[in-house]
Chains A and B, each alone.
Chain A
Amino acid sequence: MKICVCLKQVPKKDSILRIAQDQKWIDERDISYEMSEADAYALEEALRQKEAHGGEVIVISMGPERTRQSIKEALAKGADRAIHLDDPIFEQATDAAGIGRAIAAALKDEGCDLIMTGLQSDDHGFGQVGLIIAERLGMSSATIVMEVQIETGSVRVKRELESGWFQWVRVPTPAVLTIQSGINQLRYATLKGIMSAKKKELREVKAADLNLTADDLKPLQSIERAYVPEKSKQTEFIEGKPAEIAARLVEKLRFDARVF
């Protein structure tokens, strides 16, 4: 069983976020980064499946130099080797289409039985990268996965639906699974794991290695404006007889404020 886990490095949860000057994204200076939470669960699930069925766990991540910290953490936790898409051209890929295209290109010849990733990232939260990889590689897919049972030639997964409902589906392998946070208990890297991580293969891949150009990765969508939710306060005085005021208030509460 060859399992690949797609990891994204995102700003740490307790970061104090400031909007960047161009108002397109957050100011990334002075921010610490960590593995996106759902991806951490995807990695844990992959490691558990490997421990149960044997095989190999490969991690892949796209991002600047700092991304290596999260890649090395994955290696320290038990992944066997890593692929780092590190090239200024990849920084063009700011939407799910570009990220999915680059990762799919890098995994094309790996022959993975399963590709796992978090159901969405903690920063952009598009929730699409996994599916785009599946489409590009012609693999089946299942989203919001809560449990994974590996069978011969297929995988049985429990998907989370709305309102506390679940669904079991069987998908043929190779397949992409997008994993829900909290489906297992995350492990800690061990001292031995941390020390042995540096002996593991960490392959750096450039855009040219994948025959991708900046044009290929040009975003199909862009962020218009990033801003902190704006609060505004308006006070309106309703005048008239008490009965009229009450009727008007009920109307406002129902149709404007929509509180009932």
Chain B
Amino acid sequence: MMDFELNEDQQQIKRTIREFAEAEIKPHVTEWDESQHFPIELLPQFAELGIMGVLFPEQYGGAGLGYIEYSTIIEELARVDPSVALSIAAHNSLCAGHIFVGGSEEQKQKYLVPLARGEHLGAWGLTEPSSGSDASSMRTTGARSDGGWVINGSKNFITNASFAGTTVSLAITDRTAGTHGISAFIIERGTKGFSISKKENKLGMRASDTASLSFDDCFISDANLIGEAGQGFIQAMKVLDGGRISIAALAVGTAQGAYEAAIKYAKERHQFGRPIAEFQAIQFKLADMATQIDAARLLTLRAATLKNQGKNTTRESSMAKLYASEVAVRAAEECVQIHGGYGYIKDYPAEKFWRDSKLCTIGEGTSEVQRVVIARQILRS
């Protein structure tokens, strides 16, 4: 038996986040995009709503909800501003998510609780200037030292880096062990030897903060090693299985926002004496967008459902992320096309959705890497 409807509570959550995004975010979208302003001033409101710790049990300061609710929240934020959704997703899935997946009870109390309560923002550092999906070529190192580890190296393209109070970062602690030699550490803002540098000037997602992390003989005590040394990569893969669901939801929301903008414009814009929505050329575009967005949402919610059931979702998460992100780019492109000349200027939301959408096929594993992951999964059996 399958039920394709959100339940009453989930619908209420969807309405609430939509109402919030429309009232508190939408009026500022263009300005934040232009000035690359991350709305840190909204953090207390995000915290009050409960969206900084959607997936974590109440004992850790979270809302204790599942992946369906989480996907719905990210989708609704992205429908209005994908870059805000991206920051919330990175905070929840990656930073707080990693501590939840691999952290000790003590670490959860000390770091997860304030993150989930939204007392500060979290960031997660995997990518480096010369290593992306090939994590084993990572250069950041953690050398054993008395009572802890000395980290050296750098991370880049890190979402929320400039604002994060807590950062989880990966480093190689045993070069000979390959991916089994990678460990994850919790780093507090202001730790000696840890600094944030170079805020990126991006194509899209400009209201989301992206910067580099630098470690210069940064001492991290054993108390801040997540799990055991060498477990970092396995933890990260688990974190990404969940993270990809949120990027899929982000892509669905981006596509939905673009689609709604396209429909609105197609009904308003008159050419040859009638609204362009009455031309089949435009209707077919809208029909394709609607169909593909539905398919992307269903793939996302399937991965979310399986994740809620505690199943391994490597394949389903990657499929959802791959498909939804490509749909987002296509839908946003058609949105620009339907807007014609107005799609190319910043007075209409089309071009921003287009720029923002492209991140979805790149972040948390490119489309190509998703295909590698999916192929590995389907050929294994």
Contacts and interface: CB of A to CB of B under 8 A. Distances in A.
Nearest to B15: A73
Contacts of A73: 12, 15
B119 interface: no
Residue among B9, B54, B64 with the most chain A CB within 10 A?
Answer: B9
B8 interface: yes
Interface string B96-112: 00000000000000000
A190 interface: yes
Interface stretch (B45-53, B207-215, B228-236): B45-53
Nearest to A192: B50
A191 B8 contact: no
B16 interface: yes
B357 to A, nearest CB: 26
Residue among A73, A192, A194 with the most chain B CB within 10 A?
Answer: A194
Interface string A55-85: 0000000000000010011001000000000
A144 to B, nearest CB: 25
Interface string A167-190: 000000000000000000000111
Nearest to B10: A194
Given A188-B16, A188-B20, A194 B9 contact: yes
Interface in B51-97: 51, 54, 58, 63-65, 69
Contacts of A248: none
A195 B9 contact: yes
B13 interface: yes
B49 A188 contact: yes
Given A188-B16, A190-B48, A190-B50, A195 B63 contact: yes
Interface size class of B (residues with CB under 8 A): 10 to 19
B171 to A, nearest CB: 34
A252 interface: no
Contacts of B368: none
Interface string B12-55: 11011001100000000000000000000000000011110010
A72 B13 CA distance: 12
Nearest to A195: B9
A254 interface: no
Nearest to B17: A188
B12 A189 contact: yes
A72 B7 CA distance: 13
A24 interface: no
A203 interface: no
B12 A194 contact: yes
A69 B9 CA distance: 10
Contacts of A192: 50, 58, 63
Nearest to A73: B12
B163 to A, nearest CB: 22
Contacts of A76: 12, 16
A189 B50 CA distance: 10
A96 B35 CA distance: 52
B12 A72 contact: yes
Nearest to B11: A69
A194 B16 contact: yes
Contact of B54 (A69, A72, A189, A191): A191
B75 to A, nearest CB: 15
A194 B49 CA distance: 10
Nearest to A75: B12
Given A188-B19, A188-B20, A192-B63, A198 B9 contact: yes
Contacts of A194: 9, 12-13, 16
A33 B65 CA distance: 26
A191 B20 contact: no
A37 to B, nearest CB: 13
Interface string A186-208: 00111110110110000000000
Nearest to B45: A188
A24 B306 CA distance: 49
Contacts of A69: 8, 12
A260 B50 CA distance: 57
A191 B63 contact: yes
Contacts of B48: 188, 190
Contacts of A197: 9, 12
A197 B9 CA distance: 9
Interface in A24-72: 69, 72
Contacts of A189: 12, 16
Contacts of A195: 9, 63-65
Nearest to B13: A194
A164 B49 CA distance: 36
Contacts of B69: 191
B12 A190 contact: no
Contacts of B49: 188, 190-191
A188 B48 CA distance: 9
Interface string B168-195: 0000000000000000000000000000
B220 to A, nearest CB: 33
A76 B50 CA distance: 13
A197 B16 CA distance: 14
Nearest to A191: B50
Nearest to A72: B12
Given A188-B48, A188-B49, A191-B54, 17 more contacts: A69-B8, A76-B12, A188-B19, A188-B20, A190-B48, A190-B49, A190-B50, A191-B13, A191-B50, A191-B51, A191-B65, A194-B13, A194-B16, A195-B9, A195-B63, A195-B65, A197-B9
11 contacts: A73-B15, A76-B12, A190-B49, A190-B50, A192-B50, A194-B9, A194-B12, A194-B16, A197-B9, A197-B12, A198-B9
- Would you list the 9 A-B pairs with minimal beta carbon distance, nearest first? A191-B50, A191-B63, A189-B16, A190-B50, A194-B12, A188-B20, A190-B49, A192-B50, A188-B16
